[in-house]
Structure 1
Amino acid sequence: MVRRTNILIFVLVVLFTTLFSCRKEMDIFSDVIEPVSEQELAVEELYNIMTENYFWYKYIPADLDYDDYGNPEELLEAIRYKSLDKWSFITTQSEFNQYFVEGTYVGFGLQFLYDSYNNFYVAFIFNDSPLYPLGVRRGWILKNIDGIPVTAENFVLLMGEDVEGVTKTLSFVDGLQASHSFSVSKKKIFMNTVLHSSVYNASGKNIGYLVLESFIAPTQQELDAVFTTFKLAGVNELIIDLRYNGGGRTDIANFLASYAVPVSASNAVFAKYIFNDKLSQNNFDDRFTLMANNLNLNKVVVIASPLTASASEIVINGLKPYMTVKVVGMPTHGKPVGMITFDYKEYVFVPIVFEVLNGWSQGRYFSGIMPDSWQYDDVRYDWASVNDPCYAAALNYLTTGSFKSYTQPYQDLHLKSPAPLHRFSNSLWLAKKPQPLSE
């Protein structure tokens, strides 16, 4: 009996000592381990997404340790394949939805380009801009902001934060050299992506002219209205002006192209989406769906510039197998790849995950799509002005069948953008994530 009691006491002592020792070790361990932060979790999530989905995942450094990076932006910069990838980005849910879904942003509602003589021209203006009802139009020159002459160096600072209510006095000179000053406040701007549409009658032809700024959700309804008008007007030739179109949704790009293609291209391949070799089961063909107001054309002229990117370039490339496509202007941006969005809490990760080919399996135009007629963007003239070299060259081709040279004294001014209109320029993304194909 005594022996059993001794054994029991020994077991209890050992058990108590073990528990105490473990508790002590746990206390020490808990003092060392810190809670994992939201940033660290986001970094890990991005790393997992990139190693699986990134189109150039093979170029991710083998020795990269995601624990070395304090936030997703730093990790993305370390992973990004810099030889080709200029576009992968990270944003927030609210910013992404505001632009691509709502079609809005905060600002004054116009975009400027400046030349080598420091003239800041209005390249385009949205109808919802507070300056639009005051008469400001493409070709006006911005001279001063709050009385201070504008330069490339001070433009962003003088324009102020993109916050509703920021008020500035903007001084312009119009096309007739008259001066105007307006005190206006930044607001949420609804972007009418169709900047202009009209019909020009010449040589027995009805030539439709469409200026499109981007491919976002509201664009679909705008295009419906434009092509209804074109159809009623008997449009049989078309100029699509994409000189300032930096891209957007692939389904909206298909929507535009499906209005122009000949009926014979119904259900033909508009674009082939090719993913990395890990996800080749996601590859798919996107086909034309002819619209009720399809124009059944056999040729189209596209006006382009280095600001023409992504979804705009898909339209050009996607139409080529089925009709004559002539490009007027300058080489495009060169982005034959695109993104899918990956949501993680407040983040939206938008990496390059696929390339795009046309029905002839042609693409990879990283140096841009070359023009058939080189013309410079003369921003001094409003839309549909025959003084605009790009528009004039397009009209001449559609009425005579050939291009002619134009005297362009403005060609040496090298227009540049002082700041992007929004952070999503040159975006191309699938509105719906592809589902793996069934076995």
Structure 2
Amino acid sequence: MKKVSILSLAFLVAVIVTGCGDDPTSSESEDVSSKKQFVYNAMNYWYYWQGDVPALADNRFSNNQKLSSFLQGFSDAEQLFNALQYSEDEFSFFIDDYEEFADQQDGINAALGVNYGFIGFQNSNDIVGYARYIISGSPADDAGLQRLDLFTKVDGTDLNTSNYRQLLSDNSAHTLTLATIKETSQGVAFEDSTQKSIQSEKVIENPIYLSTVIDTSNTKIGYMMYNAFQDNSHHDLNSAFNDFNNQNIDELILDLRYNGGGTILTSQLLSSLISGLDNSSKFGEFSYNQKRSDQNESVYFLDKVPLQNGEGDFERNDQGEFVNTEPMNDLGLNKVYVLTSGGTASASEALINSLNPFIDVILIGTQTVGKDQGSLTLYDAPEPYLNKDKANPDHKKAIQPIVLKIVNSAGDDYPDGFTPSASNNISELTVENIQKKPAIGSPDDPLLGRALSLITGQSKFQQSSPSLSGSQMMKEQKDFSPQGMYLLPEQAQFLFGN
């Protein structure tokens, strides 16, 4: 299904690679067989749908020889992993190099420095890409690419429904053919304009893209665009909320429209910073597969900010309390405005869901993905496959299977995502908005403008609804690669042991 490697953007891209068959006489065959054994054992142990996949049943093979024969039927560990996934699983993926994947989770990528999305059309195979945002100082920024720039070709190849997931999936330089948009009597038309050649280099992205205060005549409004629930951003998040407190903001707008997920712990933290809810209030409940059901647990909001140690881990004492913490600069709000899109997934949705029973969560934008499941990085290490330090030194393969489902304190899940009310269902993908290219944080942005209008009651912030028939034909392609929502290995080790 999905495979992780160093990518050309901040979001993960699905790539299919066909491996070579095993040679039973070679040392490589023994190594591949070892990887396949790890994949099978780890999936049997952890996979959320283990009971629904016949090949993963504990009584499926009467002896090791039959299991070995089954494993030999797959060319490599990745093909086996894909074959073991449940039909409804959209989000488990194979990891080519777990060290590169760890860098990606920390916002370090070999990248162009542009986060992009795609637009599809009714009754057409054509696809148009667009720049969601540009990372300052990145190759895309140096090349002059702007937010909401459109592109129709990558390295001279037209984008379509068959290739758009692959054309930007490597870590090389690319040339984008930019285009302009206009309305016609038949809908919308795109005209190629210039080309932008963009280099690829290591890009470090701060998930807090923008944090500022908008001071209207009567109201101080905090605005934050947060693009990934990175566990190395806890101190920065807390500092940003300290600034909000120092400026005495009255309302908060949290922009998660491009946030595809991240660590559950960071979602717990940001929910707590917004609401002031602490560890006496339930954030949600985790449920695992039947074999691990004795570890089903309730998780809570936080009363302190957990911080990583020098090795990037969150240490706990014997009572399960975090060792390295700092006081929390929470706002104690009873309402928050959240901006959403088809790129809002997983840990972002968990934040919305966890706060829903306690405070008013006003959604503005378009429908979210609907990923109420969490994953875990599993290594070729002794059971329970969590300790990277004890992983097989001969390779860096790992897997990221779905291992849990999460509901909030009221028992609510979100398999279909969250949809804003009709009056707040607003897309940034309109002809008018793409032509204007409003900056992130500008009141001219239609999602932010709607939030400001609701808060202030001033219609000057409200963008007029587009009457262009062509824009109604455009639809954001489903974000095929949300970052996901995952447990940290040390969280799982605390629950399941080493």
Q: What interval of TM-score do these two structures reach, taking the shorter chain for normalisation?
A: 0.7 to 0.9
Alignment of 1:68 onto 2:73: yes
Q: Distance in 2 between matches of 1:384 and 1:318?
A: 26
2:295 maps to 282
2:186 maps to none
Q: CA deviation at 1:335?
A: 0.7
Alignment of 1:268 onto 2:258: no
Q: Deviations over 1:120-140 (max 9, x none)?
A: 431111124123256533123
Alignment of 1:369 onto 2:430: no
Q: Distance in 2 between matches of 1:412 and 1:225?
A: 42
TM-score (norm 1): 0.79
Alignment of 1:151 onto 2:159: yes
Give 1:407's aligned amino acid.
S
Q: CA deviation at 1:168?
A: 4.5
2:474 maps to 413
How many residues are aligned here? Answer: 395
1:227 maps to 241
Q: CA deviation at 1:260?
A: 0.3
Give 2:397's aligned amino acid.
Y
Q: Distance in 2 between matches of 1:77 and 1:398?
A: 47
Q: CA deviation at 1:226?
A: 2.3
Going from structure 1 to structure 2, the CA distance change for 1:407 and 1:401 (only over 3 Å counts) comes to: closer
State how 1:170-319 maps to structure 2 within 5 Å.
Answer: 183-202=197-216, 204-262=218-276, 265=278, 267-290=280-303, 292-319=328-355
Flag the structure with larger Rg. 1
Q: CA deviation at 1:405?
A: 9.0
1:347 maps to 397
The answer to whether the 8 Å contact 1:199/1:208 transfers is yes
Give 1:72's aligned amino acid.
A
Alignment of 1:130 onto 2:139: yes
The answer to whether the 8 Å contact 2:260/2:345 transfers is yes
Q: Which shows bigger deviation, 136-145 or 396-405? A: 396-405
Q: Distance in 2 between matches of 1:314 and 1:168?
A: 37
Q: Distance in 1 between matches of 2:157 and 2:44?
A: 49
The answer to whether the 8 Å contact 1:246/1:307 transfers is yes
Q: Which shows bigger deviation, 218-227 or 324-333? A: 218-227
Alignment of 1:111 onto 2:115: yes
Give 1:427's aligned amino acid.
G
SS of 1:271's partner is strand
Where structure 1 has 5 or more consecutive residues not aligned to the other structure, the ranges are 1-31
Q: CA deviation at 1:104?
A: 0.8
Q: Deviations over 1:282-317 (max 9, x none)?
A: 222222224532111010111111211111110000
The answer to whether the 8 Å contact 1:145/1:171 transfers is no
Q: CA deviation at 1:225?
A: 3.5
Going from structure 1 to structure 2, the CA distance change for 1:170 and 1:189 (only over 3 Å counts) comes to: farther
Q: Distance in 1 between matches of 2:26 and 2:454?
A: 69
Give 2:51's aligned amino acid.
K
Going from structure 1 to structure 2, the CA distance change for 1:48 and 1:157 (only over 3 Å counts) comes to: closer
Where structure 2 has 5 or more consecutive residues not aligned to the other structure, the ranges are 1-23, 62-69, 182-190, 304-326, 381-391
Q: CA deviation at 1:154?
A: 7.0
Q: CA deviation at 1:99?
A: 0.7
TM-score (norm 2): 0.70
The answer to whether the 8 Å contact 2:132/2:148 transfers is yes
Q: Deviations over 1:313-343 (max 9, x none)?
A: 1000011121111111122101101111111
2:90 maps to 86
Going from structure 1 to structure 2, the CA distance change for 1:406 and 1:434 (only over 3 Å counts) comes to: farther
Q: CA deviation at 1:270?
A: 1.3
The answer to whether the 8 Å contact 1:142/1:171 transfers is yes
Q: Distance in 1 between matches of 2:428 and 2:296?
A: 37
Q: Distance in 1 between matches of 2:87 and 2:75?
A: 21
The answer to whether the 8 Å contact 2:449/2:463 transfers is no
Alignment of 1:435 onto 2:494: yes
SS of 1:131's partner is helix
SS of 1:300's partner is strand
Q: Which shows bigger deviation, 205-214 or 394-403? A: 394-403
Give 1:281's aligned amino acid.
D
Q: Distance in 1 between matches of 2:179 and 2:297?
A: 50
1:10 maps to none
Percent identity at matched positions? 26
SS of 1:123's partner is strand
Q: Deviations over 1:164-196 (max 9, x none)?
A: xx464776779xx9x876554210111121222
Give 1:249's aligned amino acid.
T
Q: CA deviation at 1:93?
A: 1.4
Q: Which shows bigger deviation, 270-279 or 332-341? A: 270-279
The answer to whether the 8 Å contact 1:43/1:75 transfers is yes
SS of 2:331's partner is coil
RMSD: 3.4
Give 1:367's aligned amino acid.
D
Give 2:411's aligned amino acid.
S
